[in-house]
Structure 1
């Protein structure tokens, strides 16, 4: 009887080959050179059923498709790496289409470079990581994590906290197909299908094409999540070695409603001041611990949701004033996140001689997305100061030519009309990384690499009509939709922003790998020099400190200057540049067949985000202090033990971090607030990551991991005059758990396989001054599989059951952090028990 083994991989696991032997790096060039880094000897033999320790100089974790497939189908790949020590991912919902937040060693997702087949997937403007737009899980060969370090050719402006890369599987060599259908709690329906052509030319060409469709309802509140994805890849080997060329494409469509976040102010209204004191009563010395909520209070918070229905008074029209100011502000169908994203990826490797190898990764990416939202406009500029009206309306409705516009077409200018007012972003991005590796001798290898990345980032905010029941006429507002767009008196569509950015990276890198003492010692030395440039054009007037809204108007420059003298004039081709030289070094020393020690040093860099540069114009409006790029020095020292029965790794680490950027909220004269970026100074982080996998017998495996993180802010946030704006000195980095512990157990006895994994996440702070605490939590997930046999001697049929949050624990998941409790930090509630059944056919 066949017995099979799977252990939840972590820092001890390395994936199967994708583009080259180890395939645990980002670009094709990094994969290629990693072959020279991996310690020789027992490599290839020391394994636990194909799961190996990644014998590289960096602290690294690799997970393979074998583990990915045991999670619920379609699950976000960033949720899967939650079982790696030092990583904490909080998913918005149990299925992943709602997104989530990633933290690695105290760094958030915007400070972690994420790549897909070597292609940068962080947003080019704000570096955000949209985890719900990633590749279907069935097509992911492996995912790897670099803790606090990058590969020498990482194509990134935001890798202060390390990297995550996942790679697409190769097309199969035989003709075949697979279909997976899943049905689960909250009306979850997902179907995935893929067809592999097998080798279809005399040259070994092979390809696959796939599609998936996912729909389900929110687990709390009204709303749905819909996702469709299409993928294709064609792969051409060159010769009989490792040379190849590959072309792949991905297109993803999401139409999601947001879950309602619960702010501290909401909780105070729901539960009373005896439970949630006024902000003045919440201090670092007497913090608010949300873990003390009773079961009944937790239920109250859980049931705080968006409104399921909406009726707009302006929709009826007629004489007098109809006001939408107090209507439909929390309607679920304007809290939406429509996105269309896609990419084309080219990868290649070619041996130019027996010593010289060239690689090239190139890509094109497309994105169109917004985050929904509404604002109320007064039809007459004279009513612009009425409570509830958009506080930056100004006199743009009349546009200097009229008193206003009859938006709802009822014959008067008396109404306050709610409009759909999203912030659209449309990105076209080109990138390429080329490298040459030269093997001077079997013991000495050098590589040179060049990276170019150019993102055209068009950001607009066109207003459009809502129907009488509050639904958007078009999910992308008035962008390209004359019928639904709302125009000012001059005939131009109302906008909140209108700007064009080019985010451009040129990077050169070099790397040396040497082996000494009969290959017992491997040394890696590298340096990368990124040069970033931001070309900024703002077609609207800059409002001091506002990086999102601007004053977009048809009024003349003279009129705006007389009415709003503090606003900065439109500008074109403003340039901001950053550069750095970032060295790295590492070693692996193998002192026994099953044991090695490793260590690494790496400098990281994160440039200020493009979006935030629009908070000033560099002419009339200057920042109080110019925000400096973030810099890190990351050190790792660890040991590994690998054998057929035990694989283990332990790592101690230290990160010195300066110029950390946070957003501080300030109050404007009109009563509104803005977020201003500031450098808070230094952060010192250190910790420990450990994991061990044991297979005492063939049918049983157990895996355990643990991590400790200490991340402390070393400075207060100061004003230009030295006044303390936020007392952050000595405080713990927000959203970062100090302790994480977990593991996985699996029993395999064909045809049945059962696994369970558990994770404990410690307390997290919601604020920079540590005056609000999100409590610790523990979740348990279960998976079971029953094999029904093979089809035509290949593939097979199996049924899989997944249960998420098995014991139905209430916990706080995503955190929307703020400087202090007075700034109303918000939370999202973790998903309850969720059951998914899947049937998989492969033939």
Structure 2
């Protein structure tokens, strides 16, 4: 592939290829220019979209879009819109990203409608990765979970890119100790049009999607699109139906080659009737019984005084608004400004079921009378959060010479959240008067009776700078960069007996270096050293919570908790010739390793932070795509991972002998094999994935079994029919072999068996739990453009 680069300032990448694709940039700020010098400025140049990679106007799709040609000096993998649009219409972005090298994905749902979606990369989970959508942070700052299902619909996603082990220096991420996932949204079409598709599948799964593009409005240079989607499906076992309503909107204004502005807004309203996690013994028993795991799910019917796990008490609701306003301006031929203000609002209710004992009920550490007529009253316990984040990320790109590229920027973020529990008694049918806890039990002064009620706010001030020097006609690029994060959190606790005010301040410099060598047109070598950090999870680290039955502290706030910090090195090679090949050898050392697991606080499922000390991670990741032959495009990737604990784990006043043991949720081997077929109007894709067993305890005394899955997609593009353009029909089959398997660890435990600690204490074992994957599912999608 030959690239053409303009004079310093405005850059253009041109090639005689077929598939339009968004830019993919390097994490270290290294621009990618032509390997053989700088060409003259073309007559029509487009503004550079990203500081670390020239804009791609066309790029070759490898293996049907499962692989892209990369140039950044770190392990970077992407999925194009071509591959995304061939997956199931209701698939979540994380389900789609599961085919990327080294991604360990787990879910309890076939259609992306469950909040139990999670990925880990190189043994580091979702809370240890950075997440960006259209230049804005996408992470929920209370939990550090991304909830990518609330960002954008699949038909509007133009690219999903994963950077393993580090992040782009210019991206607004605070949790990227383990890597970064970047999602881009298509620009509105330059021509007026519309698109509609409808899907129907297993478990009464349905989805409808509609989008309208305005085209250019008059001669204003403005164009926009708006879309709406509704998805719904029953749980594959037990009671409950899940729904998701989603709206996307994007407007773009361009001023020829001098500036571009784009506004992206999305809204989601998501209800998930959650499935209960299984113990290993419970899963094995249900698997043997062949009862579709129905015996361990939440109860379908409510019997007063008997049912303690009624499914309606566990329906999760999340409402979300995301706004990103990206602006790019050429201030001079060699100077460009990028500025992105953003806004993120979220409202959540994560409820559960409990029982209120009138004679043993506490508000904080004070015993109170809840004022209920019965001595024992079943109730729904709420866990409500309302949060918003505002911020701006701004940077300049300056090219002092034709071989030097400088980035300097600043990111500011302000986040605020109120978390409050609450109790609403259940009626004789098991119903609660309000899903968001409006009618919760209150004290005479109006205070909400709860075991946790606090407000938190944080501020992030981050400065970053990166400089890249090109040598030997751009064959060699040397990059040095520095990020400096200043993080401050403060909160107040409304519960009697809890510290009223708490705060934490973290300052962390993060240097990085990289070198890449374009050996020839086919071979690229690179090496890098990066550092990243992640502050402690706010919701489960800083506030103090109480047990409402005993008045005792269940979670003591820890304002002195230190941030997780990672130091990583990579050596990589890329070859693009007779076949396409990427490989990266990696080494990473973490201090203050923090994991997040599910636990229950007064009956409501919440996240719990676990501090695991230091960790060493080593391994190799590779992917290979062969050239298309008779319409077939084979693809394979794999990862070998060795993740070891560097310290003994503190449990109570003793230590478990965990040093040298394998880290939890870190499978040694992951392999994905796929083949894409495109011939005339037909297209198909087959994907096989195998994930090795993974430990669920730090003592390595219980593990989740290895599993394998096979997914198949078939499609046909029909000829245009009158007003219908590009009509198509496709069938997506997931878990084709219909083999039951556990997909991820839900509750991590220190040890499953009774163990003697380093200092002689007998430490009781606790049973981990897991999420069961969905069985075979099928979904048919028909659609067309107008």
Aligned to 1:331: 310
> In the alignment, is residue 605 of structure 1 matched against residue 533 of structure 2?
yes
Alignment partner, residue 261 of structure 1: 277
CA deviation map 1:504-552 (0-9, x unaligned): 10000001111101111122211100000001111113xxxxxxxxxxx
Aligned-pair distance for 1:26?
Answer: 12
Residue of 78, 82, 90 corresponding to 2:94 = 78
* 567, 586, 599: which one aligns with 1:633: 567
Work out the CA distance in 2 between the residues paired with 1:35 and 1:393: 51
C-alpha distance 671-198 of structure 1, shift in aligned 2 (>3 A): closer
2:593 pairs, out of 660, 678, 697, with: 660
CA deviation after TM superposition for structure 1 residue 15, in Å? 8.7
More strand by share: 2
Which residue, 448, 457, 467 being the options, matches 2:408?
448
2:750 is the alignment partner of 1:819: yes
Structure 2 match to 1:841: 784
1:510 matched residue in structure 2: 465
Q: Is the 8 A contact 1:38 1:55 kept in 2?
A: no
Deviation at residue 467 of structure 1 after TM alignment: 2.7
SS of the residue aligned with 1:67?
helix
What is the rounded CA distance, in whole Å, between the counterparts of 2:18 and 2:484 in structure 1? Answer: 29
Q: Does 1:831 align with 2:763?
A: no
Moved more, 104-113 or 87-96: 87-96
- The 1:262/1:52 distance shift into structure 2, 3 A limit, reads closer
Partners of 2:443 and 2:449 within 8 A in 1: yes
User: Which residue matches 2:322?
Assistant: 343
How many angstroms apart in 2 are the aligned matches of 1:675 and 1:205? 44
Structure-to-structure mapping, 1:765-804, within 5 angstroms = 765-791=695-721, 795-804=725-734
Asked if 2 retains the 8 angstrom alpha-carbon contact of 1:184 and 1:835, the reply is yes
Distance 1:655 1:630, change over 3 A: same
Distance 1:264 1:95 in 2: 24
| Alignment-derived partner of residue 581 in structure 2 | 648
Out of 359, 369, 373, which is 2:352 matched to?
373
Q: Which residue of 1 aligns with 2:44?
A: none
2:351 and 2:605 in contact (8 A); partners too: no
Per the alignment, do residues 180 and 673 of structure 1 end up closer, same or farther by CA in structure 2, a change over 3 Å counting?
Answer: closer
In the TM superposition, residue 466 of structure 1 has moved relative to its aligned partner by: 2.4
Q: Of residues 69, 85, 90 in structure 2, which corresponds to 1:69? A: 85
- What's the counterpart of residue 162 of structure 1? 179
Which structure 1 segments of 5+ residues have no match?
A: 1-12, 272-292, 313-323, 385-389, 399-403, 408-412, 479-483, 542-566
Determine which structure has more spread, i.e. the larger CA radius of gyration: 1
Offset from partner CA, 1:164-199 (integer Å, 9 cap, x none): 010111000000100010000000010000000011
3-state DSSP class of the match of 1:656?
strand
Q: Does structure 2 retain, via aligned residues, the 8 Å contact 1:105–1:147?
A: yes
d(CA) in 2 for partners of 1:73 and 1:504?
37
2:11 aligns to what? none
1:467 aligns with 2:427: yes
Question: Is 2:688–2:709's contact at 8 Å kept on the other side of the alignment?
Answer: yes
Report the secondary structure of 1:423's partner residue: strand
Contact 1:366–1:428 (Cα < 8 Å) also in 2: yes
Q: Classify 1:213/1:677 alpha carbon distance in 2 versus 1 (closer, same or farther; 3 Å).
A: closer
Larger CA deviation: 608-617 vs 27-36: 27-36
Contact 2:30 2:479 in 1 (8 A): no
Give matches, 1:229-378, under 5 Å: 229-240=246-257, 243-264=259-280, 266=282, 271=285, 296-297=288-289, 299=291, 301=293, 303-312=295-304, 324=305, 327-378=306-357
Superposition deviation, residue 699 in structure 1: 1.4
Q: Using structure 1 for the length normalisation, give the TM-score.
A: 0.81
1:186 to 203, 212, 215: 203
**Which digits, 9 at most, give the CA deviation of each residue in 1:81-107, with x for residues without a partner?**
111111111122110110311100000
Quick one: distance in 1 between partners of 2:250 and 2:768? 43
Provide closer, same or farther for how the CA distance between residues 23 and 471 of structure 1 changes in structure 2, counting only shifts above 3 A: farther
> Does 1:208 find its partner at 2:225?
yes
The SS at the match of 2:424 is coil
- Partner residue, 2:139: 122
TM, length-normalised to structure 2 = 0.87
Does residue 1:684 correspond to 2:616, yes or no?
yes
Residue 113 of structure 1, CA deviation: 1.1
CA distance in 1 between counterparts of 2:681 and 2:208 reads 24
